[in-house]
């Protein structure tokens, strides 16, 4: 079987992870990389044995690649997706899939019109840990509360504190703690519990330059609440927990889970087994390739991305987290 030939847009550390993930998947290979500078593109290609480097987007998308992985800044996700779809390329787009719901709808429509697969590169959505949690949910009894937490002190925050504001802390790039970090537990909740059934409430901490540094969201599900906590300015020290009347399940890290524990109301905690892999991006690549080869619609997955965009838009509106993309005509 001919492998799916990936082209990568962007040469940051997430692209490194994706290149490694593709190398671990059968019937997939990275055959090209696009970068704004030849120097960065050449260095990235050398590190991953990629044969072709492009600095011209049109030439890149006109090459013999089958699919594009988009790891450009959030504000460029729609633009790059539309261009890729126009050239008949399947798209695996890094989270968050778009700046807002309107952009997402344009991307979904473009992919459908072109007959290509569009999938959000959302690590926990395809990790085997998610299915293990889902299978063990009946053991906790009636759901009463969940606290999903992902707080990670950004490697770029020290420079922010010293007065140097890098791209990761600039809202004009459609960046915020919610978009970069909070999207993980939000999506995790949507995959487990579905769309919230009541009014979402939230509160954000805004840094002096207008960047959202951290936040809390309450997502109601009937007689249970799911609370999402996220941050780029401090670390988590406790696991996420899903609590029912008969017990609880703890998750050590939402983005890449290595440990799940079932804690019965009466009894001893026990580990929940699952196929852990520290390179869990390979799971999303595997599903993306499967969809391409089978011709199956990605609409099941896109439904969760749609709900994710709705939650993110709602939270940003409640807290005045506005991007230039929100004012662009759609």
Phi-psi sector, 247: left (phi>0), alpha (psi -120 to 50), beta: left
Q: Is the pLDDT of residue 329 over 60?
A: no
Domain assignment of residue 139, yes or no: yes
What rounded mean pLDDT belongs to the chain?
Answer: 97
CA–CA gap between residue 143 and residue 129 (Å, rounded): 19
Q: What is the pLDDT of residue 328?
A: 73
**What are the pLDDT digits (tens) for 12-42?**
999 999 999 999 999 999 999 999 999 999 9
Q: HSE, CB side, 13 Å, CA atoms: give it for residue 114.
A: 21
The residue-averaged pLDDT of 298-314 equals 98
pLDDT at 105 over 60: yes
Residue 133 domain-assigned (yes or no)? yes
Residue 108 lies in a domain: no
The CATH number of residue 200's host domain is 3.30.360.10
Q: Is the pLDDT of residue 1 over 80?
A: no
In the 8-state DSSP scheme, what is residue 127?
A: S
Cα–Cα distance between 220 and 194 in angstroms, integer? 11
**Residues 245-298: tens digit of each pLDDT:** 999 999 999 999 999 999 999 999 999 999 999 999 999 999 999 999 999 999
Q: Is residue 257 part of a domain?
A: yes
CA torsion angle 26 31 33 38 (round to 10): 140
3-state helix, strand, coil in the chain (%, to 5): 40, 25, 35
Structural domain including 252 reads 119-330
What does the block give as tokens for 242? 């899903």
C-alpha span between 39 and 149 (Å, rounded): 38
Q: Is residue 300 part of a domain?
A: yes
Answer yes or no: is 246 within a domain.
Answer: yes
The token pair that represents 181 in the structure block: 């970090």
Q: What percent of the chain has pLDDT over 90?
A: 98
* Number of compact structural domains in the chain: 1
pTM recorded for the entire structure: 0.96
Residues in CB range of 327: below 8 A, 6 or more apart: none
For the cut 60, the answer to whether the pLDDT of residue 46 exceeds it is yes
CA distance 137 to 64: 45
């Amino acid at each position: 079987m001919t492998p799916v030939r990936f082209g990568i847009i962007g040469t940051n550390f997430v692209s490194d992870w994706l290149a490694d993930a593709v190398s671990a998947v059968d019937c997939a290979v990275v055959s090209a990389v696009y970068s704004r500078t030849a120097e960065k593109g050449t260095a990235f290609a050398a590190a991953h044995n990629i044969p072709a480097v492009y600095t011209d987007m049109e030439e890149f998308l006109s090459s013999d690649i089958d699919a594009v992985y988009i790891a450009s800044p959030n504000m460029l996700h729609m633009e790059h997706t539309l261009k890729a779809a126009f050239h008949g390329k399947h798209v695996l787009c890094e989270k968050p899939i778009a700046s807002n719901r309107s952009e997402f709808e344009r991307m979904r429509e473009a992919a459908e019109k072109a007959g290509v697969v569009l999938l959000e590169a959302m690590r926990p959505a395809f990790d085997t840990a998610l299915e293990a949690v889902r299978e063990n949910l009946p053991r906790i009894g009636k759901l009463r509360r969940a606290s999903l937490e992902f707080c990670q002190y950004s490697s770029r925050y020290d420079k922010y504190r010293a007065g140097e504001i890098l791209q990761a802390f600039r809202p004009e790039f459609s960046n915020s703690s919610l978009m970069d970090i909070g999207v993980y537990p939000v999506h995790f909740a949507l995959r487990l519990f579905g769309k919230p059934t009541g009014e979402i409430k939230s509160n954000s901490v805004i840094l002096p330059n207008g960047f959202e540094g951290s936040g809390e969201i309450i997502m109601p599900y009937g007689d249970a609440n799911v609370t999402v906590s996220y941050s780029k300015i401090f670390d988590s020290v406790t696991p996420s927990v899903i609590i029912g009347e008969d017990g609880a399940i703890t998750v050590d890290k939402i983005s890449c889970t290595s440990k799940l524990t079932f804690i019965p109301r009466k009894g001893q905690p026990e580990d929940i087994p699952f196929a852990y892999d520290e390179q869990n991006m390979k799971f999303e690549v595997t599903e993306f390739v499967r969809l391409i080869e089978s011709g199956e619609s990605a609409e099941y997955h896109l439904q969760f991305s749609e709900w994710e965009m709705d939650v993110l838009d709602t939270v940003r509106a409640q807290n005045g987290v506005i991007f230039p993309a929100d004012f662009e005509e759609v």
